Amino acid sequence: MAESNFVEKLSPLQGLGFIRGSCTPHYDGKPNRRPDFHQLIKNDELPPGIGIDDGAAVLFEGQQVIEVVASRPTAKAYQVKLEGDGQIGEESLEARFL
């Protein structure tokens, strides 16, 4: 089987608007997902949001994160935002392993 050189590029999609901000799944599962998400926030193409590792899920109540659960022991979610110095900051949201 031939190996593909195709690299998937992350691009913004319009969501349903139930929750403010942005979100991306596969945060740790696709090689370029994390840096692409960071760059979109830096470029003001996406608002700050949440990166969700493969095997993790985020439960919201209204606009608040209530819990992060995971089917893998190392899976988490991250609050991702632009800091005052123009750099991306991540706050790890610990997950409850199911």
pLDDT tens per residue, range 26-50: 999 999 999 999 999 999 999 999 9
Q: What kind and span of H or E run contains 97?
A: strand 96-97
Q: What are the φ and ψ backbone dihedral angles of 56, each rounded to 5 degrees?
A: -120, 155
Q: 63 CB contacts (<8 Å, ≥6 apart)?
A: 19, 20
Give 11-18's long-range contacts (Cβ < 8 A, gap of 24+).
11/40, 12/40, 12/45, 12/46
**Count of residues making up the chain:** 98
List of the chain residues with pLDDT < 50: 1-6
pTM for the whole structure: 0.86
What is the DSSP code (8-state) at residue 5? -
**Checking DSSP bridges between strand 56-61 and strand 64-70, what pairing results, if any?**
antiparallel
